[in-house]
Amino acid sequence: MKKQKRPEIICRCNNVSRQTIEKAIVDGCDTLNKIFDATTAGVGPCGGSCRRKLGPLLEHYLQNNEFPEKITEDLTGKFPPDKK
């Protein structure tokens, strides 16, 4: 029997799961802004604290073509790299 993993919520403001975000990335979101538009993650009232996870998740996928097992949060403030 397959173990059912509980969905990992990345964006607590808008209740967006990692699964939703990964699907959006696979479907072609290759910038944070596209992820914001496609999933509403990262644009909640907290001001986007989950971007620390979204950035590394996206970067890891773009570099390795797969998602990391564990997301290493980016605390350097490097993300989001694409400014308005």
Site residues (vs ligand FES, CB under 6 A) = 11-13, 41-44, 46, 48-50
Q: Min. distance of Cβ 42 from ligand FES in angstroms? A: 5
Q: Is the preceding peptide bond at 56 cis, omega within 30 degrees of 0?
A: no
Q: What is the DSSP letter of 52?
A: H
Per DSSP bridges, beta strands 9-11 and 16-17 are antiparallel
Q: Min. distance of Cβ 1 from ligand FES in angstroms? A: 33
Give the residue with the Cβ less far from ligand FES, 2 or 20. 20
Q: Min. distance of Cβ 44 from ligand FES in angstroms? A: 3
* Structure token pair of residue 56: 């590394």
